[in-house]
Amino acid sequence: MKKIVFFLLFLSFFHLSCKKNSDEPVSTPYTTPSQTGFSQVSFGPSNPGNLTMYRYVPSSLSLSAPLIVVLHGCTQVVSDFSQETGWNTLAEKYHFLILYPEQKAQNNDNLCFNWFIPEDQTRNSGEALSIKYMIDEMKSSYQIDSAKVFVTGLSAGGAMTLVMLSLYPDIFAGGMQVAGVPFKSATNVNDAYNARNGLVDKTAAEWGVLAKSGYPGYTGSYPVLSVFHGDQDSTVVIKNLTEISEQWTALHNTDLTADLSDTVKGFNHAVYKNSQGKAVLETYRLTGFGHAYPIDPGTGEDQGGAIGLYTQDANLFASYYALKFWGIITN
């Protein structure tokens, strides 16, 4: 039975320790939605994962708007996480919609998404299906560009991000993970503990098989992925960045040699491209950074976010750079 107490494991697992070019959105025509701002909404034919749905609608909206699904980490609630990570401010500026699924204590005492439980990491089942129904609800309410649906998350939400990308590559164009683990690095509590400690070590080929098992028989293209991970993260250790890189390069049939290695805001940044020259994976290794969401408070073009329990000033605004990698912001 999945609804059991994981307090000791997940309190240690995911509790968080605690200028520029003028960029424009891709789409330029806008409409004014009838209801704007942050709100809770009902959704879907059912709610198998027993999650709560929130959304953020900007005051002006692209006629064919991108949709970003944002997944919080353990012990977090959407109302705080949405403000601290700066996503709502970016939605106003670049005219996209945000979907915020929220975990309930009935499912997990520490409000962690249950990314490691088989029924919640299976296509059209459990929490993953609830999130898919929420996306369907957003598509039925707004003119969303189906080629511009993305998902991102921190910690347990980051692990759930790779669950969604692996189960629904037909829905998502890309994702961004902060301080998470690979897809199917765990299928039970013990595995989850080992995964966060970097004790689950597989070959790239093995990780690729696991990722493709999320949607057996799928022959389309897979989503691109951006990953941020601190090398001083003692909650989800940096070894997971290597394992995720192996999984996502294998999924895209490319090698583990970066096509571009540089620094962004002083941090090591690597980009991996497929045979067509498309960037399918980028990684940021955050030197001296712990288990938190990278932000850069300020008013500059590439700045944003607010200091909180789950964020840390890294002079690097992860939300902004994800939008650039996805092509929602262009120079």
pLDDT in tens, 109-157: 999 999 999 999 999 999 999 999 999 999 999 999 999 999 999 999 9
- Write the single-letter amino acid at 313: D
With beta carbons less than 8 A apart as the criterion, state whether 29 and 61 touch.
Answer: no
Active-site residues: which are they? 155
The pTM assigned to this predicted structure is 0.92
C-alpha pair distances (Å), 45 with each of 53, 92, 119, 132, 137: 14, 30, 18, 11, 10
For residue 211, the SS3 value is: helix
Q: Which of 195, 217, 219 is nearest to 207 (CA)?
A: 195
Q: Express each pLDDT in 95-104 by its tens digit.
A: 999 999 999 9
Average pLDDT of the chain?
92
In this prediction, residue 67 has a pLDDT band, given cuts at 50, 70 and 90, of very high
Q: What is the pLDDT of residue 31?
A: 80
pLDDT for 3: 43
- Can you give the residue ranges of every domain in the chain? 7-14+29-330
Question: How would residue 23 be classed by pLDDT, with cut points 50, 70 and 90?
Answer: very low
pLDDT for 327 beyond 90: yes
State yes or no: pLDDT of 331 exceeds 90.
no
**CB contact at 8 A, 72 and 60:** no
In the CATH hierarchy, which top-level class contains the domain 7-14+29-330? Answer: alpha beta
Find how far residue 97's CA is from the centre of its chain: 15
- Length of the chain equals 331
CA–CA separation, 209 and 46 (whole Å): 31
Residue 274 tokens read as 């497929």
3 state DSSP class of 153: strand
Q: What is the mean pLDDT of residues 250-258?
A: 96
Q: Summarize pLDDT for 36-59 with one digit per residue, the tens.
A: 999 999 998 899 999 999 999 999
pLDDT digits (tens, 9 = 90+) for 25-37: 444 457 888 789 9
Structure tokens at 130: 């609830």
**Span 264-320, pLDDT tens digits:** 999 999 999 999 999 999 999 999 999 999 999 999 999 999 999 999 999 999 999
Express each pLDDT in 214-240 by its tens digit.
999 999 999 999 999 999 999 999 999
Name the 3-class secondary structure at 297. Answer: coil
Which helix (H) or strand (E) segment is 71 a member of?
strand 65-71
Q: What is the structure's pLDDT at 63?
A: 86
Q: Note the pLDDT of residue 33.
A: 83
